[in-house]
Amino acid sequence: MKTIDELVGDGVSGKRVFVRADLNVPLDGDTITDDGRIRAAVPTIQKLAESGARVIVASHLGRPKGAPDPQFSLAPVAQRLGELLGTEVAFATDTVGDSAKATVGGTADGGVTLLENLRFNAGETSKDDTERGAFADQLAALADAYVGDGFGAVHRKHASVYDLPARLPHAAGYLIATEVGVLKKLTEDVERPYAVVLGGAKVSDKLGVIDHLLGKADRLLVGGGMAYTFLAAKGYEVGKSLLQEDQIPAVKGYLDRAEQLGVEFVLPVDVVAAAEFPDLKTKAPANSAVVTADAIPAELEGLDIGPESRKRYAAKLADAATVFWNGPMGVFEHPDFAAGTRAVAQGLLDSPAFTVVGGGDSAAAVRQLGFDENAFGHISTGGGASLEYLEGKTLPGLAALED
C-alpha cells in the first residue's frame, strides 16, 4: 500500500487530491455531538494542504436513501472541519454536480473543499457494479489522485471506497495506517485472557462477527441492542426490546459452539427497561425499571444492562489481558440508560488489559461520559470496520488501496 508520505513525495502541489474520509458523526439537529471522527481526519487533510494540494474531502453521513435529505447534510461538518484546520472549508452543496465542479474548480493550491454527502447519490451504495462504476467515474473526473482515509467505512463496497481508487493514483492516509497497525496486533499474538465486549444497535451487521470471534476470544460479553436476540435464543421473553428474530437459530448455534469450545458467553442477568424509547433531545426522565433478563414484561423495552450485570461484566474485564470493545451497552445518550456503558468503560480503565475501543458511537460514548480517551490503549474510529478487520475478512476499502 502506498503511503500518503510517498504520494506527497511524488509531488501533489497544484493537484486535486480526493480524500475519502469517514465524517459520519453523531448529530443533534445540526449540532455535532461528538467530533472525534472529524479530528481523526485532520492530519491527512492538513498534510496534503500544507503540501500545496487542492484537497477534496468526501464522506457519507447517516443512511440517506440515495437522494438529497437535509437532515443528513454535511454542512455542519464543513464548518467544524474549518475550525479544526484553522482555515475556511468551501462546501459544495452536491457531490458531482454543478456546485461540486465549481467549488473544486475554484479551490486554490492548499485549499480544502468538502463535498455534500456521497450517499445522496444512489450510485454510491449500489449493489450494481455498473451503477457504482458510473458514479465513481463522475467522482474521478473531479480529481487527479485519491487518498483512502475513511477507516470507519472500509468494510463497505461503495463507489467512493472501492471503485474510485481503481480509477486514480492512490495511497492510504494516516488514519488508516494507524488503525490497521493497532488492529493487526489483535489478529496476531494476542495476550490472554482476551475478552470481547459487543453491544450497540447495528445488530444484523455485527452478529456474524461472533462466529469468527468464537475461535479467537476467551470471553464474549454481550450487551446493548444485541443482547436481546441472545436472550430470546435462550427462550426468554424480551418484551419490546430490539430483536433480530431471523438470527435466533444462528445465535443458538453460537451459544452451543461456545460451550463446546469453552468460550465464556456473558449475557445480562438484569436490564433497565422502559415502556417507551427515551427522548434523547429533552433527556426527560424515562420512568425506567430494573427487571430480570429472563422475563422482560411484554410492554417493556430493554435499554441498558442492569446493576447486577454491570458488576459481572466489570469482574470479567478485571483480569483480562486484552479487551476489544465495540458498541454501547445501552442507550447511553440518555442519562437513565448510560450506567452500563459507563461501567464497561470504567471496567476497562480499572483492568490492566490492553484495550481497544472501536466504533463511532462507542468512542463518542466514552468521551461524552467524561472519560479521558487517552487512558484507553486505542480508540478506533471504525465500528463495523474494526469488527470485520478482526474477523479476518478482506475489506474492500483496504484491498482497493493495494498496488
Ligand X SMILES: O=C(O)[C@H](O)COP(=O)(O)O
The x, y and z cell numbers of residue 161, run together, are: 471506497
Candidate segments 46-54, 100-108, 287-295, 328-336, binder of ligand ATP by CB under 6 A: 328-336
Site size for ligand ATP, by CB under 6 A?
Answer: 22
Give the x-and-dash track for 140-159 against ligand X (CB under 6 A). Answer: ------------xx--x---
Among candidate residues 74, 73, 77, the one with its CA nearest the CA of residue 85: 77
Nearer to ligand ATP, 360 or 397 (CB): 360
- Our finding on whether 327 is near ligand ATP (CB under 6 A) is yes
d(CA 16, CA 19): 10
37 as an active site residue: the answer is yes
- Minimum separation from the CB atom of position 323 to ligand ATP (A): 15
Among candidate residues 350, 383, 87, the one with its CA nearest the CA of residue 225: 383
Site for ligand X in 15-54 (CB under 6 A): 22, 24
- Minimum separation from the CB atom of position 31 to ligand X (A): 18
Query: Using CB distances below 5 to 8 A depending on partner kind, what does residue 306 bind out of ligand X, ligand ATP, none?
Result: none
d(CA 265, CA 219): 6
> Binder to ligand X among 384, 389, 395, 396 (CB under 6 A)?
384
Site for ligand ATP in 279-318 (CB under 6 A): 302-303
Query: Using CB distances below 5 to 8 A depending on partner kind, what does residue 156 bind out of ligand X, ligand ATP, none?
Result: ligand X
Candidate segments 91-99, 125-133, 162-170, 323-331, binder of ligand ATP by CB under 6 A: 323-331
Alpha helices (H) in 196-247, listed in sequence order? 203-213, 227-233
List Cα–Cα distances, 362 to 16, 96, 197, 305, in angstroms: 34, 32, 11, 15
The residues, any chain, with a CB within 8 Å of residue 144's CB and separated by 6 or more, are: 15, 16, 17, 168, 169
Please spell the DSSP secondary structure of 68-127, one letter per residue.
--GGG-SHHHHHHHHHHHTS-EEE-SSSSSHHHHHHHHTPPTT-EEE-S-GGGSHHHH-S
Query: Using CB distances below 5 to 8 A depending on partner kind, what does residue 22 bind out of ligand ATP, ligand X, none?
Result: ligand X
- Our finding on whether 326 is near ligand X (CB under 6 A) is no
Nearer to ligand X, 168 or 385 (CB): 385
Candidate segments 66-74, 159-167, 355-363, 371-379, binder of ligand ATP by CB under 6 A: 355-363
360 as an active site residue: the answer is yes
- Minimum separation from the CB atom of position 328 to ligand ATP (A): 5
Please spell the DSSP secondary structure of 258-317, one letter per residue.
HHHHTPEEE--SEEEEESS---TTT------EEEETTB--TT-EEEEE-HHHHHHHHHHH
Residue 17 CB neighbours (<10 A) = 26
Alpha-carbon Rg for the chain, nearest whole angstrom, is: 22
The residues, any chain, with a CB within 8 Å of residue 302's CB and separated by 6 or more, are: 227, 228, 238, 239, 241, 242, 268, 271, 272, 273, 291, 293, 296
Q: In what order do the strands lie in the sheet with 270-274?
A: 289-292, 270-274, 301-305
Helix 203-213, helix 248-261: angle, nearest 10 = 20
- Minimum separation from the CB atom of position 309 to ligand ATP (A): 12
Give the x-and-dash track for 154-183 against ligand X (CB under 6 A). Answer: --x---------------------------
Site size for ligand X, by CB under 6 A?
Answer: 9
CA 382 to chain centre: 4
> Binder to ligand X among 173, 223, 278, 383 (CB under 6 A)?
383
- Our finding on whether 361 is near ligand ATP (CB under 6 A) is yes
Query: Using CB distances below 5 to 8 A depending on partner kind, what does residue 318 bind out of ligand ATP, ligand X, none?
Result: none
CA 207 to chain centre: 15
- Minimum separation from the CB atom of position 37 to ligand X (A): 8
- Minimum separation from the CB atom of position 148 to ligand ATP (A): 17
- Minimum separation from the CB atom of position 203 to ligand ATP (A): 8
What burial class does residue 282 get, using C-beta atoms within 10 Å of its C-beta: 0-12 exposed, 13-18 middle, 19+ buried? exposed
Site for ligand X in 54-93 (CB under 6 A): 63
- Our finding on whether 32 is near ligand ATP (CB under 6 A) is no
Contacting residues toward ligand ATP, per CB under 6 A:
152, 199-202, 224-225, 242, 302-303, 326-328, 330-331, 333, 359-362, 383-384
Report, as residue numbers or ranges, the catalytic residues: 37, 202, 360, 384
Contacting residues toward ligand X, per CB under 6 A:
22, 24, 63, 152-153, 156, 360, 383-384
